[in-house]
Amino acid sequence: MRTVSLIVLIGCLWTAPAFAQNEKGWFDVDFGVASAAENVTVTASSARLFLENATFGVAYDVPRGASFDFGGGYMVTRIVGVGVNFQGTAHEGFPGLSIRIPHPLFFNAYATDAGPGAVALQRTEGSVHIQAMVVATPNSQRFRVRVFGGPTFFRVTQDTVDRILYNQVFQVLGPLNSVDITRYEYSESQGTGWGFHGGADAAFYFSRVVGVGGFARFSRGTVELSDLSGAFDVDAGGFQTGGGLRFKF
């Protein structure tokens, strides 16, 4: 019995200093979900057709998607650290299409059609978050709460519509005019830009090195893309939340 008690005492004395060691750096790996900063982006263009203006519109739907990120940093003091985080998000949505086409022979006799596209368009965002971090629980060894923020570099890659194709039926001797969207052509557009981010992270450590945690982050920036309307701005970033592994050393 005395031997067992001695072993337990030695184990406690050995473990306590291990947890009490100051953190020099950290590394995080997370999976989560991402809500885009802009759920729908609408663009419009016009072209001269039959001596009048034909108009074409696209509404890009960006629903909630998946998120993955990893990063780490170095503790400048026991409370303040600096680091970098790399994040990627993926979204997929069906565009909304609309057209307004003039009659070939009669003025002000437009035909319209609108509806969702049949092929989903992809959007991915890559973000580099440069962050300053503050530990809000410096006296706790197993629980750690961090708040962070700083500038963010965004790269957005999105499928954008280049052309809306349609069938038109009209009367030669009257103003009857109808159109039906048949399909659309699209290509990949890319843009980059700077913005900002801020958030918080909470973790529980099983040992001095390994733990699990969860985070919430808000980020925002602006990038320029292009489609049939020409160049247009979109909001990058949004709200991301998730969790994963935590390492400190």
Cβ(69)–Cβ(30) under 8 Å? yes
| Structure-token pair, residue 15 | 């473990």
Q: What stretches of 72-113 show up as alpha helix (H) in DSSP?
A: none
Which CATH code for domain 22-248? 2.40.160.20
Mean pLDDT to the nearest integer, 166-185? 96
pLDDT band at 132 (very low <50, low <70, confident <90, very high): very high
Residue 177 pLDDT = 96
Query: Average per-residue pLDDT in the chain?
Result: 91
Reported as a single tens digit per residue, the pLDDT across 68-78 is 999 999 999 99
> What is the enclosing helix (H) or strand (E) of 224?
strand 210-227
Residue 21 pLDDT = 57
Which positions ≥6 away from 39 have C-beta within 8 Å? 61, 62, 63
Reported as a single tens digit per residue, the pLDDT across 39-83 is 999 999 999 999 999 999 999 999 999 999 999 999 999 999 999
In the chain, domain spans: 22-248
Q: How far apart are CA 197 and CA 200, in angstroms?
A: 11
Cβ(45)–Cβ(230) under 8 Å? yes
Share of the chain above pLDDT 90, in %: 88
Reported as a single tens digit per residue, the pLDDT across 191-217 is 999 999 999 999 999 998 999 999 999
